[in-house]
Amino acid sequence: MASKKPGHSPKRKKNGNGRGDTPPRWRRFVAPVTVALSLMLAAYVVHLDINVRQQFEGKRWAVPASVYARPLELYPGQRLTRRQLVEELQALGYQRGDGREIGSYRVEGRRVALATRPFRFWDGQESSRRIEVDFDDSTLIRLREADSDRPLTLARLEPRLIGKIYPSHREDRILVRLDEVPQALTTTLLAIEDRRFYEHHGVAPRSILRAIWANLRAGRTVQGGSTLTQQLVKNFYLTNERTLRRKLNEAIMALLLEYHYSKDEILEAYLNEIYLGQDGQRSIHGFGLAARFYFGRPLQELRLSQVATLVGMVKGPSYYDPRRHPQRAIARRNLVLRTLAQQRLIDETQLQAAFEEPLGVIPGTPSGITRYPAFMELVRRQLYRDYRDDDLRSEGMQIFTTLDPLTQAAAEQALDERLNAIERERGMESGVLEGAAVVTEPASGEILAVVGGRQARFAGFNRALNAIRPIGSLIKPAIYLTALEQPERFTLVTPLKDEPVALRWPNGDTWSPQNYDHQSHGEVPLYLALAHSYNLATVRLGLQLGVDNVLSTVRKLGVYRSLNEYPSVLLGAAELSPLEVTQMYQTIANGGFRSPLRAIREVLTAEGEPLQRYPLDIEQAADPAAVYLLDRALQMVVSEGTGRALYRRLSPTLGIAGKTGTTDGLRDSWFAGFTGDRLAVVWVGRDDNGSTGLSGSSGALLVWRDMIEKTGVQPLMLVAPEGIRQVWVEPYSGLRSREECPDAVWLPFIDGSAPADFSECGISGHDREKRGINPLQQGIDLLKGIFQ
C-alpha cells in the first residue's frame, strides 16, 4: 500500500550518462555545485539521522503509568466464595478451559482449578502455578498445587489493571520484549508484511518492483512494498501525508535505522509502536496492548487465529476493526492464514482449525477510562504529592493500589440498589437521593473501596472526598472517648443526666437541643446514653469535659480540618467529608492507633524495579484501654441501641460496632461501623441539601448492611488490652452484680475504676437513687458556672 510511485530512485542515475563534449564554461560549475549539493544532502541526512534516532531512543518508550488493584491473595481459611474467585478470574480475562493452560480455569462443583499467570510484584516474581482451590459456603477451605497435590499456604493472582495515567497525546501501549513475543506472531507478521526483513537494509527495491507489478496488473493497490523498517519510521511521525518527499525521507531514515540498530531491536520497536486501533481519545499502539484491548488476554496467550487477526489489522486498523467490521476482519484473517499455509508455515489441519474459530473479540472494553473514577482521584492525589506529572504520564510506572474490586463492586451495588428501594418505598422522585461510601481495612488503614455517588462509573462530583457535610451523632464517640480516658471520673456505667439543657449565647440567643424522640430519659448509664444516642446526656457530658478537650480528641483521632469551638459541635454541627470521618473511625476501630488512610502500596518502574513503598504507619493516638471501652459501647449501639436494624439481617455473632448519625431536618443520614476486617462509612443525602426524610438508621445503615451482606466479613472479636478488668455490674445502680442476676451486664473497666460494692439481684433502687443525686447536682452547678 505504501509505494505507488517508487520509480524515483533510478531517475537520479540518468545524470551524466553519455555526454562526451560538454562546454567548458558549464563544466567549471559542476564541481562546486556538486560539492555544495553533497554538503546540503549530507547535512540533511545528518538532520534526519538525529531526528530518527531521537524517535527511536526516546518516544517509543513514552508509556502511561499503569494503576493496579490489590492482587487477590488465596489462602486456606480466607473468607472468599467460589463465585467471587470466578468473578475475579473473569475480570482478569481467564478463559474457561482445562485449568492447566496458563490463564485458564475449570469449575467442578465447589472446586476451581486454574493456572495462574506469572507476574512481577514488588517483592519479586510470582511464577505461573497450577492450583486447585476448594470452597465451602463462605470460605476457601483448601489450596493445593494441582500436579503434586501438595498443600499450599498462600497464592496470589495478578492484580487487575484499573486505570492509566496517559501522556497528553493519549498514546497507550503495553511494552513487550522480543523474547516474550510468541513465535507465531513474529512469523506471521514477517510472512505478511516483510518476508525479507532479515535480509534487506531497510528498503527492498525488489519488493517495491514486485508491488508495482502486482498493482499494475490488478489496476489498484493490492500489495505494499514498504519494509517493516519503513513502516516503523512512518509510525513514528503518524501522518498520512503521501508526498514524494515523505517517501524519500522514510527511505533514508529506514536506511539510517538499519545502520544504527540491529534487526531485533527494530522488530521489537515495531511490535510496540505499530498503531492498531482507537478507543475514543486513546490510541492503541503495539501488539501487547492490542491483545488486551481486543481479546482481553496477554499476548503470550493468543491463539493462532487471534494472532492472524491482529497481523491482518496492520494494513488498516479501522477498516479491519474486528468489533466494527467483523466480516472484513474475518476475511482478512483468513487471507493471512492462507498465506501462512502457502508459505508452509502452518499445515492444513492448523489452517482448518483456525478457520473454524470465531473472532473471539471481547465486547467493547471500558479499559480506556477507568471503572473506578472516585478511587482513582484519591490515587492521583497521593501520587502528585510525590511524583512529577510528566513522569507519571510517560515513564510506564506501575502503581499498586489497595483497591479491592470485590468490595468496591459490593459497595457500588449496595448504594445504588438501596437508594432506589428507599425512593420507591417512600414515593420519592427517582434519583433525588445521593450517597457516598468509603471502606477500609481497620488494622492497616488500606482503602478498599471508594464510591463517590450512585453513578459510580462516571467521573462526577466525588462525594466521598469532596462532600463536606455535618456529621451529626458520628461525633459522639469522640466525646465519650474523652470521658473514658479519665477512668477516675468516668466508666461505662457512670450515670449521665438526660435532661433538657438550654445554653445562652453571649448575644442572648438560647440553644435548646432535643433528643431524637423529643423525650428526656432521666439518668442513664454512660454506655446506654451512647447506644441510644441521647443528645441531652451527650451535650451535658461534652460541656462538662470542655468543648476544646473534645475537639482535641477529634484531632487526635486524625481529623485535621479546623472545627469551631461552639457547643453545637457536640451534636455534630462539625462538617466533614466521608473520607475524613473514615479516618476518625479508623483510629477507633484500630484500638486507638491512627494509620493514615492509604490508597497506594507500592510504585515500581516500568522494568519492575521498586521505586517507593508506602508502608503501614501507625501512631498511638489514644489509650488502648479507653478505646476498648468505647468499642464495647459501640458494639452495644448495634446490639441494643440505634443500630439494632443491622441484626435483622446480619448475624449478631458478628459483634459489629458502629454509630448512626442524623442531622437537623433529616438532611444527612450517616452510618459508620466496623467488623473484624472492615470499616465502612456511608453517607446518604441530597446534593441540594434538602431533607431526605431519613435518619441514620433508616438510610445509611441499610446501605451499610447490604454492603456487608454482599461481601461477607470476619466477626469483630475485641481483645481486651492489659489493664482491663471485666465484671458483672448492674448498669443503673453502677454496683457489682452476679452473672445470675437478671439486670447484670458483663462490662469492662480500666483497672481501679470497677465498682467494689455488690448489690443483691434487683434490690438496688435505693442505691440508685442515692448515687444519682451527687453527679446530678454537680452537673447543674457546673453548667451554671459555664453559661452564666
Partner 1 sequence: MSWLNDSKDLAAVRVEIVLAVIGVAVLLLSGCAGLQPSRPEPAVQVPPQTTAQEVVVAKPATRPQVTPEPLPEPPARPPAPPVNDTVLALLSDADALASAGNLDAAAANLERAIRIDPRNARLWNRLAHIRLKQGRYAQAASLAAKSSSLAAGDSALLNDNRAIIGQARMLRR
Tell me whether residue 49 or residue 499 sits nearer to partner 1 (CB atom): 499
Tell me whether residue 483 or residue 679 sits nearer to partner 1 (CB atom): 679
Site membership for partner 1, residue 612 (CB under 8 A): no
Site membership for partner 1, residue 564 (CB under 8 A): no
Please give the Cα distance from 42 to 234 (Å, whole number). 22
Which amino acid, one-letter code, is at 155? A
Q: Which of residues 87-146 bind partner 1 (CB under 8 A)?
A: 122-124, 139, 141
Site membership for partner 1, residue 775 (CB under 8 A): no
607 classed as catalytic: no
Please give the Cα distance from 587 to 79 (Å, whole number). 24
Which entry of 193, 268, 441, 580 is annotated as an active-site residue? 193
Residue 473 CB: number of other CB atoms within 10 A?
26
β-strand 124-126 against 119-121: which pairing, if any? antiparallel
Site membership for partner 1, residue 772 (CB under 8 A): yes
Q: Closest distance between partner 1 and the C-beta of residue 524, in Å? A: 9
Of 537, 724, 735, 783, the one binding partner 1 (CB under 8 A) is 724
Of 168, 324, 746, 786, the one binding partner 1 (CB under 8 A) is 746
Q: Closest distance between partner 1 and the C-beta of residue 370, in Å? A: 24
Q: Which of residues 198-237 bind partner 1 (CB under 8 A)?
A: none
Which amino acid, one-letter code, is at 378? L
Q: Closest distance between partner 1 and the C-beta of residue 594, in Å? A: 9
Q: Near partner 1 by CB under 8 A, which window of 223-231, 251-259, 566-574, 635-643?
A: 635-643
What single-letter DSSP state applies at residue 683?
Answer: E
Q: Which of residues 694-723 bind partner 1 (CB under 8 A)?
A: 715, 717-722
Of 441, 580, 668, 706, the one binding partner 1 (CB under 8 A) is 441
Site membership for partner 1, residue 519 (CB under 8 A): yes
Site membership for partner 1, residue 78 (CB under 8 A): yes
Of 22, 514, 620, 689, the one binding partner 1 (CB under 8 A) is 620
Q: Closest distance between partner 1 and the C-beta of residue 481, in Å? A: 15
Site membership for partner 1, residue 46 (CB under 8 A): no
List b or e across 511-540, with b for residues whose CB sees 16 or more CB atoms inside 10 angstroms. eebebbeeebbebbbbbbbbbbbbbbbbbb
Tell me whether residue 567 or residue 731 sits nearer to partner 1 (CB atom): 731
What mask of x and - would describe binding to partner 1 in positions 586 to 605, judged by CB under 8 A?
-----xxx------------
Residue of 395, 373, 399, 384 whose CA lies nearest to 167: 395
Q: Near partner 1 by CB under 8 A, which window of 54-62, 237-245, 520-528, 685-693?
A: 520-528
Hunting for cell 503521501 — which residue is that?
242
Tell me whether residue 178 or residue 443 sits nearer to partner 1 (CB atom): 443
CA atoms within 13 A on the CB side of 263: 12
Integer angstrom CA distances of residue 748 from 567, 658, 696, 729, 760:
30, 18, 28, 10, 20
Tell me whether residue 369 or residue 503 sits nearer to partner 1 (CB atom): 503
The answer for residues whose C-beta is within 8 angstroms of residue 204's C-beta and 6 or more apart is: 194, 196, 225, 227
Site membership for partner 1, residue 520 (CB under 8 A): yes
Of 261, 461, 516, 647, the one binding partner 1 (CB under 8 A) is 647
What mask of x and - would describe binding to partner 1 in positions 443 to 482, judged by CB under 8 A?
xx-x------------------------------------
Integer angstrom CA distances of residue 398 from 128, 177, 297, 369, 615:
20, 17, 18, 17, 17
Q: Closest distance between partner 1 and the C-beta of residue 142, in Å? A: 8
Q: Which of residues 241-280 bind partner 1 (CB under 8 A)?
A: none
609 classed as catalytic: no
Q: Which of residues 144-183 bind partner 1 (CB under 8 A)?
A: 153-154
Q: Closest distance between partner 1 and the C-beta of residue 563, in Å? A: 25
The answer for residues whose C-beta is within 8 angstroms of residue 551's C-beta and 6 or more apart is: 563, 565, 569
Hunting for cell 506469572 — which residue is that?
118
C-alpha cell at 13: 542515475
Q: Is 202 buried (19+), middle (13-18) or exposed (0-12) by CB count in 10 A?
A: buried
Q: Closest distance between partner 1 and the C-beta of residue 113, in Å? A: 19
Site membership for partner 1, residue 731 (CB under 8 A): yes
Of 451, 636, 684, 703, the one binding partner 1 (CB under 8 A) is 636
Of 129, 503, 743, 782, the one binding partner 1 (CB under 8 A) is 743
Tell me whether residue 416 or residue 767 sits nearer to partner 1 (CB atom): 767
What single-letter DSSP state applies at residue 351?
Answer: H
Site membership for partner 1, residue 347 (CB under 8 A): no
Q: Which of residues 54-73 bind partner 1 (CB under 8 A)?
A: 73
Phi/psi of residue 129, nearest 5 degrees: -140, 145
Please give the Cα distance from 402 to 603 (Å, whole number). 12
CB 317 within 8 A of CB 332: no
Site membership for partner 1, residue 417 (CB under 8 A): no
Q: Near partner 1 by CB under 8 A, which window of 95-103, 271-279, 575-583, 649-657?
A: 649-657
Q: Closest distance between partner 1 and the C-beta of residue 526, in Å? A: 14
Integer angstrom CA distances of residue 389 from 64, 67, 611:
11, 15, 16
Q: Closest distance between partner 1 and the C-beta of residue 515, in Å? A: 11
C-alpha cell at 4: 505507488
Q: Closest distance between partner 1 and the C-beta of residue 203, in Å? A: 51
Q: Is 95 buried (19+), middle (13-18) or exposed (0-12) by CB count in 10 A?
A: middle
Which entry of 473, 695, 698, 759 is annotated as an active-site residue? 473
What mask of x and - would describe binding to partner 1 in positions 8 to 37, judged by CB under 8 A?
------------------------------
Tell me whether residue 274 or residue 657 sits nearer to partner 1 (CB atom): 657
Rounded to a whole number of angstroms, the distance between the first and last alpha carbons of the chain is: 92
Please give the Cα distance from 291 to 288 (Å, whole number). 6
Residue 263 CB: number of other CB atoms within 10 A?
14
Q: Report how many residues bind partner 1 under the rule CB under 8 A.
A: 77
Please give the Cα distance from 81 to 236 (Å, whole number). 48
For residue 228, give the 3-state DSSP assignment: helix
Q: Near partner 1 by CB under 8 A, which window of 29-37, 264-272, 296-304, 498-506?
A: 498-506
Q: Which of residues 747-766 bind partner 1 (CB under 8 A)?
A: 760-763, 765-766
Tell me whether residue 279 or residue 640 sits nearer to partner 1 (CB atom): 640
| H helical segments located in 261-371 | 263-273, 286-295, 304-313, 326-342, 348-356
SS3 content of the chain, % helix, strand, coil (to 5): 40, 20, 40
Of 366, 500, 665, 690, the one binding partner 1 (CB under 8 A) is 500
Beta bridge partners of 105: 96, 114
Residue 327 CB: number of other CB atoms within 10 A?
8
Which amino acid, one-letter code, is at 519? Q
Phi/psi of residue 719, nearest 5 degrees: -105, 120
Catalytic (active-site) positions: 193, 473
